Amino acid sequence: MTPWMPTPAIPTVAETLKHPAFPTAIWNLEPDRKGLVPVAEGRGGPFNISWEIHGAGPIKLIFIMGLGGLKSAWQRQTLHFGHERREQYSVLLIDNRGMGDSDKPLMRYSTSEMARDIVEVLAHQTVGWLPRSFPLLDPTTTSAPRPRSLHVVGISLGGMIAQELACQIPWALSSLSLVCTAAAVENTTSFAEHMAQRASLLMPKTVDRSVADSARQIFAHAWLAAPDDVRLPEPGRTPRCGPPPPPSSPWLSFLSNNRNSFGVFGSGGGGEGDGQARYLRFETNAQRFVAQEMHKRLDPARFGLKGFLLQLIAAGWHHKSAAQLREMADRVGRERILVMHGTEDGMISLPHGQKLIEFIQPGKGIIVEGMGHAPLVERWEWFNRTIEEHCALGERLDGRA
């Protein structure tokens, strides 16, 4: 059992915006290719999905982000796989519909339709990771198209989308990693706890309270209080890594107009870090999260309530039965599937991960003591190594290693 930890203090938005490292919180990792792909013709579209490919290696790795997340949320993995190991890996990042640089159509979102968006991106001529005529799953088909070439990693809502993707194109997958996700979102708490959680969603909150609550739900409390543990990129040494952007990004004009709301006075945030040509460190892991969250929230063109709520509906309606997941695992191959969950996940509780492992019976099912909802951040070194090993397994099974 994880030792009891006091509720960690979360740095305020005001002090974080004034921190010298704030302008450097999002890394300028330059993609090899990027673009917009029109998807969903005949499915309520077309609308555009934004994508980037980092790296030029033969191992094709796809990261699918969760609720309200942007491509930059994968920056620790983008750095590791797509830049430091760019001769081995090609990393595809997308912004799911409703977020980031992708369009935000007002329509019903579902995990199955969001998975089809990804299939269409993969098959588009500008990406070319699937043949343009690659078929979705046909129950009458008995032969599997070859070769398997895609390594898919999905977290939270992204893990739900990854389940649907695996159901749609099981024979294209060399490996599948489902991280802190669920077959369906269910109530696993007492009635009183459930009602308290629902009531908290409806209560108006300050930005400080909202960000702090998110931090405590997403991350293990011991990690939040620890010193900033990230490995920073080094412009000039890290391949295809530019310096931090100048302090002219959207948060600066927002602060100028709303400085009183955040307790920030003067010309804006960033302090002595303005114009830095290197990436700086925060005092704690919690403060780095606050900074990255505020970079996102202060960019209304890329993050907004409409897209967040539409993605939330998709997560809430996601449902894969035990039979559906068993069939998916049969077609993908259980030895190719990894499921991981943490005991301190405050977003999707532990019983969801245990049930997913029970349904799928994956080649590797991991329950990690003391881990929260975002191992890609709080256990990034272990997470990257685990994904590396799982990709290597898929490559061996397909005779490429």
Percent pLDDT > 70 in the chain is 83
What is the rounded distance in angstroms from the CA atom of residue 267 to the CA atom of residue 122? 44
Summarize the confidence of residues 336-355 as an average pLDDT: 97
Cis bond upstream, residue 245 (ω within 30):
no
Summarize the confidence of residues 216-230 as an average pLDDT: 97
Q: Residue 275: what pLDDT?
A: 47
Q: How confident is the model at residue 219 (pLDDT cuts 50, 70, 90)?
A: very high
Q: Residue 401: what pLDDT?
A: 82
Q: Residue 247: what pLDDT?
A: 60
Residue 211 has pLDDT above 90, yes or no: yes
What is the rounded distance in angstroms from the CA atom of residue 5 to the CA atom of residue 343? 14
Closest CA to 173 of 152, 158, 193, 189: 152
How do residues 123-155 score in pLDDT, each as one tens digit?
A: 999 999 999 876 665 544 545 556 899 999 999
Closest CA to 230 of 79, 342, 84: 79
The one-letter code for the residue type at 362 is: P
Q: Residue 139: what pLDDT?
A: 45
H/E element, 359: helix 350-360
Q: Residue 65: what pLDDT?
A: 98
Task: Say if strands 89-94 and 47-54 run parallel, antiparallel, or are unpaired.
Answer: antiparallel
130-134's contacts with Cβ under 8 Å and 24+ in sequence apart are 130/169, 130/172, 134/169, 134/172
Cis bond upstream, residue 147 (ω within 30):
yes
Residue 69 has pLDDT above 50, yes or no: yes
Closest CA to 71 of 129, 22, 28: 28
Residue 264 has pLDDT above 90, yes or no: no
Residue 227 has pLDDT above 90, yes or no: yes
Note whether 265 and 18 are within 8 A (CB): no
Residue 287 has pLDDT above 90, yes or no: yes
What is the rounded distance in angstroms from the CA atom of residue 215 to the CA atom of residue 204? 17
Alpha-helical regions (H) of 9-95: 13-17, 75-77
Structural domains of the chain ordered from first start:
26-132+148-187+306-398 (3.40.50.1820)
Bridge partners (DSSP) listed for residue 61: 91, 151
The distance from CA 353 to its chain's CA centroid, rounded to whole angstroms, is 17
Q: Residue 392: what pLDDT?
A: 98
The distance from CA 234 to its chain's CA centroid, rounded to whole angstroms, is 23
Q: Residue 256: what pLDDT?
A: 56
Summarize the confidence of residues 357-368 as an average pLDDT: 98
What is the rounded distance in angstroms from the CA atom of residue 259 to the CA atom of residue 251? 11
How many other C-beta atoms lie within 10 A of the C-beta of residue 97? Answer: 27
Summarize the confidence of residues 180-201 as an average pLDDT: 70
**Of 253-257, 273-277, 319-323, 366-370, where does mean pLDDT reach its minimum?**
273-277
Q: Residue 267: what pLDDT?
A: 45
Q: Residue 127: what pLDDT?
A: 98
Mean of all residue pLDDT scores within the chain = 90
Bridge partners (DSSP) listed for residue 89: 59
Distances (CA, A) of 219 to 116, 167, 284, 289, 385: 30, 30, 13, 10, 20
| DSSP letters for 200-269 | HHHS---HHHHHHHHHHHHS-HHHHHSBP-PPPP-TTTSTTBPPPPPTTSHHHHHHHHHHHHHT--SS-S
Percent pLDDT > 90 in the chain is 81
Note whether 300 and 26 are within 8 A (CB): no
What is the rounded distance in angstroms from the CA atom of residue 50 to the CA atom of residue 157? 18
Summarize the confidence of residues 336-360 as an average pLDDT: 97
Q: Residue 133: what pLDDT?
A: 74
